[in-house]
Amino acid sequence: MVQPSLLPPSLEACEQQATQVTTTAKRSWLRFFFSEDQSPDNYMVRALQERAVWIGIALILQALNEIDHRLYMPYLLPYGSLIPLGLILGSFAAMLMALRPLPRRPQPRTLSQPFPRRWQRIALILILLTSVAGVIELGRGVVMCFLPPEFSNDGTTLDTNAAALLLAGHNPYSDSNFVSIARTFAIQPEWTTPLRQGRFANRLDYPSDAELAAAFAAALKTGQAPEFEGKVSYPALSFLTLVPFVLLHSPLRDVNVLPLYLLSYLLIVAIGWRVARPELRPWVLLLSLANVPMWASTTGANLDILCCLLLLLAWLLRERGWLSAFLLGLAIATKQPAWFSTPFYLIMAWRLYQPREALRRLGIAAVTALVVNLPFIVWNPGAFVSGVLAPLNDPMFPLGVGIINLSATHLIPYLPEKVYLALELAAMVASLAWYWQICRTRPEAAFFLAVVPLFFAWRSLSSYFYCAAFPLFVLQMARQRQKAAPRREQHPSQRPGSGEPFPALVEQRPLPALSGRAALQPAGAGLLSSLPAVDSFPALPLQRQSRLSG
C-alpha cells in the first residue's frame, strides 16, 4: 500500500503548477479570438484572424483621430497637423496589411510559429479597450433615439428640412433657406458649413468659433446668410428616406432621424455576423464595437452610414446581377462618395464577368439613380445641378485630415486648388490601375482604394475614411467562405459549424469570368436572406466549381 507523501511540494513544482494555470487561463480567454488548431487545414482561419487584428489596428488609429484636435494643437502649433495625418496614413497601412495576398500554400515555418504572437495579443487588448468607447457610443445612440434631435452635421438638418419642404409641396433644391433652417432647428454655429464669401470672402483659413458665432447671429438678425451653405447638397434619396420620419413627428424641430442610421449600422454588423464562420464571429462583434469612428458618424446621423450599407450589399450580392447593380444605383442616388466607388464596381464587373455584363450593370445603376432624381431634375434642372454639385462648385474652405491639413495649420503654404484636384485625379487613376490587377483575387479592396484619392482633396473630411475598414473585413470573410464552398460540396458529410477544419488553402487563382446570363439569379425573399449564411454556402450560385481552387 502506497502511503501519501506528507512533504510539502517543492518550489519548482509550485511554480510549474502556477505556470500551467496561467497558461490555461490565457488560452481559455484567447481561444475566443485565436484558433488553437495549428494544422494546415486550419490555416485560413488563422490568416483571417490575423487580418482581423490589422483591421482592429486601423480602427484604433482612426478612433485616436476622433480626439479633439484642439486639445494639442495650441501646444504643437503647425506640427500638430502631423498627428491626424499620421493616424490616417497609419490606418491606411493597417488596411493594406489586411489586404496582403496570402501565400499559395501554408509554409511549414509559418505553421510552426506561435499563434497568436505577442504583438497580436497586445493589439487584441488595445482593441478590447477601444471597444469600451464603442459600447458607450452604442448606448448613447440608443438613448438619443428617444430624445430631441441634436445633429452635429448640418447635412442631416438640411436633408430633414428638405423632406419637410417636399411634403409641403416645395422644391427642396430651390426653396431651401439657411436662415429658416437655423430658426427652426437647434443647430450651433460650429455645426454649419461656412463659405468663403460675405464676411469670410478672400480668405483661406477656416473661421474660428467666435467668427462663426458672430456671422450666425448676424444672419438670424438680417435674414441673409451668404457665409453659410444652405443648399441641399446631396442626391434625392438622402432626404426621401427621411420623409416617413417627418410624417410621424411634429413639430419639425422634434424630427429625429437617428434611428435610420443606427439601424443601418446594426444591419452592417448583422451582415458581418451572417457571412462569418463561427470562429470569426467574436471578431465581428469586437470590431463592430471598436469601430468608434463609425459609431461617431452613426450617433451624428451621418448619411455615410446608409451609403456604406448600400455599397456593401452591392459588393456582397455581386453574383445577383441586376440586384447588385440596383443597390449601387441607390447608393449613387444617396451621396456623392458612392460616385468614387462606381468605376471600381465597373472594373470588378468587367474582370469577373463579361464586358457586356459590366456595361449592362452600369446602365441599371445609372437608370436607378436617374429614376430617383428625375422628378427634381425636371422640376428645376438648374437648382438640382447647383445643389448636387455644391461640394465642388461652392467656395468651401479647405478642411480635412489629408495633406490639406498641412496647409490649414500653416506648416506648408496653400497650393492652388487645381493642384489638389490634380493630385486627387492622379491618385484615382493609380487606384483604378491597381484594382484592375487585383480585383479578381481581392475584390473587397475597392472599399479602401475608393477613399484613397480623397486624402489628397481640397476637403478631406475624416468621415470619408471611416467606412472602409470594417466593411472590408466583412467582404474578406464572405469571399473566403465562397472559396470554401466547392470543398464542402465534395465532402457533403461535413457541415460548417460542426467542428470540421477549414479547407486547406491552395493556389489563390483569380475568380473566373462568368457570363451575364449566368450571373442573374432570383433576389430571394430579402437582402439578408440573399447573403451567404453558415449553412447555405453550397447552395449559393457562385462561379463554376471546375475553375475554383483557391
Average pLDDT of the residues of the chain: 83
53 is a domain residue: no
Kindly report, residue by residue over 192-246, the tens digit of the pLDDT.
999 999 999 999 999 999 999 999 999 999 999 999 999 999 999 999 999 999 9
Which whole number is the average pLDDT over 506-535?
44
Q: Is residue 361 part of a domain?
A: no
**506/443: higher pLDDT:** 443
How, if at all, do strands 399-400 and 459-460 pair? parallel
Residue with cell 505553421: 111
What is residue 31's predicted lDDT score, i.e. its pLDDT?
83
| 200: in domain | yes
470 touches 304 (CB < 8 A): no
Q: Worst-scoring range by mean pLDDT, 62-76, 77-91, 230-244, 512-526?
A: 512-526
Determine which of 18-32, 448-462, 463-477 has the lowest per-residue pLDDT on average: 18-32
Is the pLDDT assigned to residue 533 strictly greater than 80? Answer: no
Q: Are 277 and 535 in contact (CB under 8 A)?
A: no
Model confidence at 44, in pLDDT bands (50, 70, 90)? confident
Give the amino acid at 77.
Answer: L
Taking residue 268's Cβ as centre, other Cβ atoms within 10 Å add up to: 23
pLDDT recorded at residue 3? 53
Q: Please answer whether residues 276 and 316 qualify as being in contact, where contact means their C-beta atoms are separated by less than 8 angstroms.
A: no
pLDDT digits (tens, 9 = 90+) for 390-420: 988 999 999 999 999 999 999 999 999 999 9
* Nearest-angstrom CA–CA distance, 120 and 123: 5
Q: How many CB atoms lie within 10 A of CB 468?
A: 24
* 522 compared with 461, residue with greater pLDDT: 461
Number of domains in the chain: 1
> Per-residue pLDDT averaged across 68-75, rounded?
87
CA–CA dist 429, 490 (Å, integer):
42
Q: pLDDT digits over 324-357, tens only? A: 999 999 999 999 999 999 999 999 999 999 899 9
Higher pLDDT among residues 518 and 132, named by residue: 132
> Is the pLDDT higher at 250 or at 425?
425
Q: Which domain holds residue 200?
A: 154-222
Residue type, 519: A
Question: What pLDDT does residue 377 have?
Answer: 96
Confirm whether 14 is domain-assigned.
Answer: no
Q: Pick 468 or 26 by higher pLDDT.
A: 468
Q: Does 514 score more than 70 pLDDT?
A: no
pLDDT at 142 over 90: yes
Q: Higher pLDDT residue, 452 or 545? A: 452
Q: Which amino acid is at 190?
A: E
Q: Has residue 203 been placed in a domain?
A: yes
The pLDDT value recorded for residue 219 is 92
Q: Across residues 52-79, what is the average pLDDT?
A: 92
CA distances from 503 to 39, 43, 53, 418, 495 (A): 11, 8, 22, 51, 12
- The yes-or-no verdict on residue 549 having pLDDT over 50 is no
Residue with cell 462606381: 342
Confidence label for 465 from pLDDT (cuts 50, 70 and 90):
very high
Nearest by Cα to 280 from 50, 111, 122: 50
The share of the chain scoring above pLDDT 70, in percent, equals: 80
- Statement: residue 47 has pLDDT above 80: yes
pLDDT band at residue 249 using 50, 70 and 90 as cut-offs:
confident
What is the structure's pLDDT at 173? Answer: 96
Evaluate if residue 261 carries a pLDDT over 90.
yes
- Give the pLDDT of residue 116: 84
Q: Are 451 and 73 in contact (CB under 8 A)?
A: no
Domain assignment present for 329: no
For residue 104, the model assigns a pLDDT of 65
Q: How far apart are CA 294 and CA 300, in angstroms?
A: 10
- Per-residue pLDDT, averaged over 14-42, amounts to 63
Q: pLDDT tens for residues 111-136?
A: 556 678 889 999 999 999 999 999 99
Inter-CA distances, 370 with 16, 374, 538, Å: 71, 5, 37
Cell numbers placing 5: 507523501
The answer to whether residue 252 sits within a structural domain is: no
State the average pLDDT over residues 262-285: 94
Integer angstrom CA distances of residue 128 from 53, 115, 121, 137, 295: 11, 18, 11, 14, 15
pLDDT at 483: 62
Residue 154: predicted pLDDT:
86
- Give 150-201 as a 3 state SS string: CCCCHHHHHHHHHHHHHHCCCCHHHHCCHHHHHHHCCCCHHHCCEECCHHHC
Asked whether residue 273 is domain-assigned, the answer is no
> Which one has a higher pLDDT value, 279 or 530?
279
In this structure, of 104-108, 147-151, 458-462, the range with the lowest mean pLDDT score is 104-108
Considering the entire predicted model, what is its pTM?
0.83
- Residues 463-478, mean pLDDT to the nearest whole number: 93
Q: Which own/partner pairs from 196-201 qualify as long-range (CB within 8 Å, at least 24 positions apart)?
A: 196/395, 196/396, 196/397, 197/226, 197/227, 197/395, 198/225, 198/226, 198/227, 199/227, 200/227, 200/397
Give the per-residue pLDDT at 488. 47
Q: Please report the pLDDT score of residue 17 as a whole number.
A: 52
What mean pLDDT is predicted for residues 373-391? 95
HSE-CB at 111 with a 13 A cutoff on CA atoms is 15
Residue 194 has phi, psi (to 5 degrees) of -75, 155
- Averaged over 282-288, what is the pLDDT? 96
Phi-psi region of 97 (alpha: psi -120 to 50; beta: other; left: phi over 0): alpha
